Amino acid sequence: MDYRRFADTYYIRLDKGDEIISSLMDMCKREGIASAIYSGIGGCQEAQIQTFIPDAGKFETQTIGGMLELVSLTGNVISDDEGGLCHHTHAVFSYKEDGEHRLAAGHMKSITVLYTAEIELRPVVGGVIKKQFDPVTGTGFWSFSE
């Protein structure tokens, strides 16, 4: 992974074998970024896609692999009550299966780069977005409380 900061935005290149989400989280810790939004594209080799099942109160995970075009990556980093970082990431992948083009999309647990990923990360300026747990849905949402 390599990155540069220009003004208030980070431009990140991830390379073969890099795991996108953990790399972004590590970079945010290293740079002292408490909350941010990001987007990107790239070529990936594996993705763990999660779907939240409200009745069960948990995520189901599906792994896809092969030549995965990362058509769209969007997500955010926020802080939890203990000062740790959390991510909420969604992505869309295109790939070929049985000679047909397919799409897979959803909440991402992990994404491994095949040849490159290019990501723009914009830290929140002038404040911090935190995570607030919602016991009704079993998930967390943005909190703007100080």
- Number of domains, the chain: 1
The whole-angstrom separation of Cα 121 and Cα 35 is 10
Domain limits for position 131: 2-143
Question: Which pairs with CB-CB distance under 8 Å and at least 24 residues apart come from 72-75?
Answer: 72/39, 72/41, 73/20, 73/38, 73/39, 73/40, 73/41, 73/42, 73/108, 73/111, 73/117, 73/119, 74/37, 74/38, 74/39, 75/21, 75/37, 75/38, 75/39, 75/108
Could you list the pLDDT tens digit for every one of the 146 residues in the chain? 999 999 999 999 999 999 999 999 999 999 999 999 999 999 999 999 999 888 887 889 999 999 999 999 999 999 987 889 999 999 999 999 999 999 999 999 999 999 999 999 999 999 999 988 878 777 778 888 76
Q: What is the DSSP secondary structure assignment for residue 50, as one 8-state letter?
A: E
CATH value at residue 104:
3.30.1330.80
